[in-house]
Amino acid sequence: MANPKTIFEKVIDGDISSEKIYEDDLAIVIKDINPQAPTHVLIIPKTNEIPKLSDATKDHQTLLGHLLLVAGKISRQLGVDEAFRLIINNGAAAGQTVFHLHLHILANKSFDERSIGNDLGHD
């Protein structure tokens, strides 16, 4: 039997509604349902092949580059291109809760250079 869909596959398939701010052939960008900053969006590849970043292979090189370019494009679209944080939680112990690769953009809050571990994660 096929694996059950992840939350993000349901979002991509339209089974769950979301506030989508961008879509192309390879990825969607949605607002996070539980924002950790005034601007908090998720860049999600449409493929479910990569549960976490460390599962990616050379075959995903173009897609991974694309996701970073989307991050830059969306930061400009949102007007936060001068200051944002891009976060990938890799693995449950690092705070990952949805096992479908995604990148968080956080912006419009002040970031201290020593606060790198404080933005997303669970104690």
Please list the active-site residues. 102
DSSP class of residue 76 equals: H
Kindly state whether residue 30 participates in binding ligand 5GP, applying the rule CB under 6 A. Answer: yes
Cβ-based nearer residue to ligand 5GP, 3 or 34? 34
Kindly state whether residue 95 participates in binding ligand 5GP, applying the rule CB under 6 A. Answer: yes
CA distance 19 to 22: 9
CA distance 64 to 103: 10
Considering the complex, what minimum distance in angstroms separates the CB of residue 65 from ligand 5GP? Answer: 20
Q: Tokens for 117, please give them.
A: 């571990």
DSSP of 17-31: ---EEEE-SSEEEEE
Kindly state whether residue 97 participates in binding ligand 5GP, applying the rule CB under 6 A. Answer: yes
Number of residues in contact with ligand 5GP, rule: CB under 6 A? Answer: 15
CA distance 102 to 108: 20
Binding mask 51-90 for ligand 5GP (x = CB under 6 A): --------------------------------------x-
